Amino acid sequence: MTTRLGCIADDFTGATDLAGLLARSGVRVSLRIGVPDDPPTDPATIEVIALKIRTTPVAQAVEGALAALDWLRAAGAGQIFWKYCSTFDSTSEGNIGPVAEALMDALGTDQTIYCPAFPENGRSIYMGNLFVGEQPLAESPMRDHPLTPMRDSNLMRLLTPQVTRPVGLANRLCVAQGAGPLAARLAELRAQGVAHVVVDAVADADLAVIAAACADMPLLTGGSAVAAPLPALWPQGADAAARVPVVFPDGPAIVLSGSCSAMTRAQVAAFAANHPAYQLNPVELATAGPDAALTWLASQPADATPILYATADPDAVRHAQDKLGRVRAGAIVEDALARIAVAARDAGIRRFVVAGGETSGAVTSALGVSALDIGPEIAPGVPWCAAECAGERIAIALKSGNFGAQTFFADALARLEQP
C-alpha cells in the first residue's frame, strides 16, 4: 500500500482531530506520534504525523516538519497537508507561515492555501476574517489564550508577518461559484506572484468546493475540516485494506486538563461537581513539585474517576505567568501532568481523557506512545484512540481546548461503554 495523503500536525490534539475526521471516509488512517525512527513499511493510505511544534522556536518547528515530510515522501505520499488549529493559533513569528514556506520549498511548489475553517465546530472564514461562532476571533475567548493570544481576526494580517511572499484572498463570493471559478481565482493569484492564499469557508459545502479545486496542489494547509473531503475525490478502491475495529481496554479512568480555554473551564467545572477533583497551581508546583497531587491521586478509591487540572481563569493564568514567566509556567504544568499520567498508568488506570494541546503532547510523550489507532468520535474532531503503553493497551482521548460540549468528559467516558 502506498500513502496518498501525508499529514503533518503541529500538536497532538490537532493530529487526532484530523485523523478522526479523515477516518470517517472509511479509508485506512495511521497516526504516528513524532517522526518514526524506522523507514515506512506497509504505510496506510493516509498517514498523519503528530508533532509538538505549535509554540516551539521557528527553526525547531521547521526542522521537525521537514523531517516529517521526508518520512511521508518515503511512504509515497503524493499530497501533503499541513494541519494547524482552527483558531489559527500562532505568534507574529510563526509557526504556521514559516513551516508552510519550508514545505513549499521542499516540494517545489509556488502556491498553497490557508483554510482553518471548521463549520461543524463553529469556525468560519468570511472575507479573510476568522470567526469563532458568531464572534470575530479577536473578540472570542482566544484573545486570552495563555500561549498564543489572538488579538486580530484577519488571517491575511496574521499571516503576512510570518511569510516572505505575497498573501492574497479567495473570498466566499468566489467559493460559492464552485470549484472551477475557485481554481481560476487561484491561477490568477499565482500569475500575480501570490504564494499564500487565504480561502473563505462558512459551511461544509464550501470545504468540498475547496478540496475539489485544490485536489492537485502538492501542499494544502488548514484546519482538519478542509482535508476531510479529499478521500471522496479519490478513485473507488484506492484503499483496499479494510479498517480493523479498534479494541479498547476495560479499567479505571482519569481526566487530566491543562487547557485554560473558556470551554474547558466549563467542562472541568461540570465534571468536578460529581467526581474527585484536584487543582494544580503552577506557582506551588514550582516550589514543591507534584508530590501532593500524586499522594492525593494514590488515596482515591479504585472505582473513582478523578480529575486533576491546572485549568484556570485568565487572571489566575496571568498571575502565574507574571511570577514564573510564560514559558516556565506552561512547562511546569506540562511536567506535572505528565508525571501524574505515568503514576496513573502504573497504578492500573487504562483510560485517559486529556484536555489541551500542550498537555496532550506532554502526557502522550511521557507515556511513551508512538502510534494511535483511531476509534469512534466523542465530539466533532475528538476521537477515542487506543495505543500500546509499556506493554499494556490503553484508551486515550486528546481534546483541543475549545472542542466538545460542557459535558464532554462524562460524554467521553460514556462513549466507551457504547457498542
Please write the tens of the pLDDT for every residue from 168-208: 999 999 999 999 999 999 999 999 999 999 999 999 999 99
pLDDT of residue 379: 93
Q: What is the mean pLDDT of residues 139-144?
A: 91
Q: What share of the chain has pLDDT > 70, as a percent? A: 97
pLDDT of residue 246: 86
Type of residue found at 346? D
Query: Please, how many CA atoms are within 13 Å of residue 205, restricted to the half-sphere of its CB?
Result: 5
Residue 318: pLDDT over 70 = yes
Cell of 324: 514564573
DSSP state for residue 1 in the 8-state scheme: -
Q: What is the mean pLDDT of residues 372-383?
A: 91
Cell of 82: 499541513
Sole residue written with cell 511570577: 323
Q: What is the mean pLDDT of residues 141-163?
A: 93
The model's confidence at residue 166, banded by pLDDT at 50, 70 and 90, is very high
Task: Report the phi/psi class of residue 251: left, alpha or beta, with left for phi > 0 and alpha for psi in -120 to 50.
Answer: left
The model's confidence at residue 77, banded by pLDDT at 50, 70 and 90, is very high
Sole residue written with cell 472541568: 268
Q: Which domains does the chain have, with CATH numbers?
A: 5-233 (3.40.50.10840), 253-415 (3.40.980.20)
Residue 244: pLDDT over 90 = no
- What predicted TM-score, i.e. pTM, was given to this entire model? 0.86
Cell of 218: 502538492
State the DSSP H helix or E strand holding residue 108, giving kind and residue range, or none if neither: none
- Three-state SS at 377: strand
pLDDT of residue 28: 87
pLDDT of residue 240: 47
Q: What is the mean pLDDT of residues 293-318?
A: 96
pLDDT of residue 239: 54
Q: What is the mean pLDDT of residues 325-339?
A: 95
Is the sign of the CA dihedral 14, 16, 19, 24 positive or negative? negative
| Chain segment 204-220, per-residue pLDDT in tens | 999 999 999 999 999 99
- Which of 146, 180, 203 is closest to 327 using CA atoms? 146
- Which of 55, 60, 101, 63 is closest to 82 using CA atoms? 101
Please give the mean pLDDT across all residues of the chain. Answer: 94
**Least confident residue range of 190-199, 230-239, 357-366:** 230-239
pLDDT of residue 5: 97
- Which of 370, 371, 374, 419 is closest to 244 using CA atoms? 374
Best-predicted range by mean pLDDT among 90-94, 295-299, 415-419? 295-299
pLDDT of residue 227: 97
